Structure 1
Amino acid sequence: MSKLADPNVSLAATTHPTSPAPSTAANMRHNSALPVFYWFVFGWYEPLLATGGALGALLYPEQVYIQQAPWPQGQIPQGPLPRAAVVTLLQLAHTVGLLGLLNFFVLWAARKHLWSQPAIQEKIVGALLAPLLLGDFLHIFLTLWAIGDDRWEVHKWQGTLWITIVSGFTLMIPRLAWHLGVGRYMESRDGQLVKKS
Structure 2
Amino acid sequence: MPQSYISIMSGFPALSGFYQLLFLYLEPISTMLPALMSWTFPGAEWFHHQLIPSSAPVPTTPLDPRTHMMVWQLGNCYLLLGLVSSLVFRAARDSLRKDPVAQERVVGSLLAALAIADVTHIAATLAGLPEELRWAPLTWNPMTHGNISIVVVLFTVRISWFLGINRTSYYYTPQATKKTA
- Give the TM-score category using the shorter length: 0.7 to 0.9
Q: Which residue of structure 1 aligns with residue 175 of structure 2?
A: 189
Q: Which residue of 2 aligns with 1:18?
A: none
- Specify the SS of the correspondent of 2:130: helix
Normalised to the residue count of structure 2, the TM-score between the two structures is: 0.80
| Cα deviation, residue 169, structure 1 | 2.3
Aligned AA (1:189): Q
1:123 is displaced (CA, Å) by 0.9
RMSD of the TM alignment (CA)? 2.3
Equivalent position of 2:117 in the other structure: 135
Structure 1 alignment gaps of length 5 or more: 1-30
Instruction: Provide the rounded CA distance (Å) in 2 between the counterparts of 1:172 and 1:116.
Output: 28
* 1:174-185 correspondence runs (5 A): 174-182=157-165, 183-185=167-169
TM-score scaled by length of structure 1: 0.74
* C-alpha spacing 1:50/1:75, structure 2 compared with 1 (3 Å): closer
Question: Which of the numbers 53, 69, 73 marks the counterpart of 2:52?
Answer: 69
- Residues 50-90 of structure 1: CA deviation (Å, up to 9, x unaligned): 1111111112111111111135x769755111111110111
Q: Is this contact kept in 1: 2:46–2:58, CA < 8 A?
A: no
Shift of 1:121: 0.9
Structure 2: state its 5+ residue gaps: 1-11
The equivalent of 1:120 in structure 2 is 102
Distance 2:57 2:85 in 1: 38
1:34 maps to which residue? 15
CA distance, structure 2, for counterparts of residue 88 and residue 124 of structure 1: 32
Shift of 1:157: 2.2
2:39 to 58, 66, 70: 58
**1:106 aligned partner:** 88
Work out the percentage of aligned pairs sharing the same amino acid: 30
Output the amino acid matched with 1:62: E
Structure possessing the higher radius of gyration over alpha carbons: 1
Higher normalized contact order (CA 8 Å, seq sep 6+, divided by chain length):
1
Match status 1:84 vs 2:74? no
Deviation per CA, 1:148-171: give whole Å up to 9, x if none: 312123343223212222321231
Q: Distance in 2 between matches of 1:117 and 1:142?
A: 38
- Contact kept in structure 1, 2:45 and 2:59, CA below 8 Å: no
In the aligned structure 2, how far is the partner of 1:74 from the partner of 1:39?
39
**1:153 is matched with which residue?**
136
